[in-house]
Amino acid sequence: MKILTHPYDIKQDEDMMQPLDFNRRSRLKHVDKTYKSLITNIIRLTEMEKLFQIRIIDDADRERFSFLPGQFLMLEVPGYGEIPVSISSSPSSKGYLELCIRKAGIVTGALHKAKRGAFVGIRGPFGTYFPMEQMKGHNIMLIAGGLGLAPLRSPVQYVIENRVDYKDVSILYGAKHPDQLLFNYQYEEWHRIDDIELDIIVEKPDENWKGPVGMITKLLKNLNISPDTTYAIVCGPPVMFKFVCGALNQMGIPMQRMFISLERRMHCGMGKCCRCNIGSTYTCIDGPVFDFWTVMNLKEAI
C-alpha cells in the first residue's frame, strides 16, 4: 500500500526551497528558522535598559532583512526563550539592527548578562508599520512615554534620513525620573542638526532637572498645532493612549491620523498562537501599529 504509506516530506515542497522572506506571506516556509545574529555591541542606556546592536551573520539574509518603522521581530536566546522586540534602528540599515531592551524577565535577563560576541536568533520582521510614505509633506508629532521611545526611534531615524519630505517634526517625551530617559545622548543632535523640536517632561525630578515636571498630557496643553496637516505617532504604556489621543482628538486631529503601537506578549508572530489577540484581532498581523479609530473599536485593547 504505497499510496497510503509513502511519506510526504514537507521539506521537499517546492516553495520551501525558496529563500525565507517573512514579508512575502502565504508561502510555505520554515517559519521557525531563525537568522543567526551576532551581538556586536551593548550600550547601557539606563539602569534597566540596554541597547543591543546586532548583525545578521549571513550576508544574503542580512540584505534581505528589510523592515519598515514600527515592525517588530522575534528575538530568541536559545535555551532561554523567544520574545517580541520592536526595532529601534533605521530601516535603511536592514540587517544591522538596534534593539532597546528592558530587563524584565528570563530572556531579557539573559540578554542583559550577555557580552559582545554572543549569538542570538531572530525571526521577522512582523506586523504593520507607521505609514511614513503617507505622512510625507505633513507635520509629525511623535509622542512617547517611558519605554515607548524604543519603537519610536525607528520612525525618528527614518524622518531624519528623509528630512526634506516632512515639515515640522516634534518629539514629546515623558518619563518618571530624569535618569530613566532613553537615548539622551542623541537629543542634542536631533534638535540642532535634524531640526526636531524636543519637549521632555518628567514626573519626579531630581535636583539637576531644569525642564518641566508632570505628566505627558501637560506638554499637550500649550501646544500650537495645525490639525489639518499633522500626523501623530503615540507609543507608551496603555493608560497613556486614552489621555493623549483623546486630547489630540480634541485639538482636531482625526483619529485615522493618530497611530498607536500596542504591546502584547506574542509567542509566534505569525497569527497562530493567539496570545496577542485582542478579541479576534491579532496584534502581530493586524498590528502592532493601529490607528486610534481601530483601537477605539477593539474591546480591552487599552
DSSP secondary structure letter of residue 22: T
Q: Which residues in 223-242 contact other proteins (CB under 8 A)?
A: 238
Q: Does 82 bind other proteins (CB under 8 A)?
A: yes
8 A C-beta contact, residue 202 and residue 217: no
Residue 8 binds other proteins (CB under 8 A): yes
The span from the CA of 186 to the CA of 255, in Å, is: 30
Identity of the residue, 147 or 248, whose beta carbon is nearer to other proteins in the bound complex: 147
Site string for other proteins, 41-80 (x = CB under 8 A): -----------------------------------x-xxx
Q: Which of residues 88-107 bind other proteins (CB under 8 A)?
A: 102, 104-105
C-alpha cell at 104: 524584565
Q: Which stretch binds other proteins (CB under 8 A): 156-164, 189-197, 223-231, 276-284?
A: 276-284
Q: Which residues pair with 231 in a beta bridge?
A: 140
By the rule CB under 8 A, 83 interacts with other proteins: yes
Among 18, 31, 214, 228, binds other proteins (CB under 8 A): 31
Task: Give the up-direction half-sphere exposure of residue 1: CA atoms within 13 A in the CB hemisphere.
Answer: 2
Supply the minimum distance, in Å, between the C-beta of residue 81 and other proteins: 5
Question: Alpha helices of the chain — where are they, by DSSP H?
Answer: 2-5, 59-64, 106-113, 149-161, 187-192, 216-221, 238-251, 292-296
Residue 188 three-state SS? helix
Does residue 271 touch other proteins according to CB under 8 A? Answer: yes
Selection from 223, 239, 220, 232 nearest residue 302 by Cα: 239
Binding stretches for other proteins (CB under 8 A): 1, 3-11, 16, 22, 25-34, 36, 76, 78-83, 102, 104-105, 108, 117-119, 121, 238, 263-265, 267-268, 270-275, 277-281, 285, 299-300
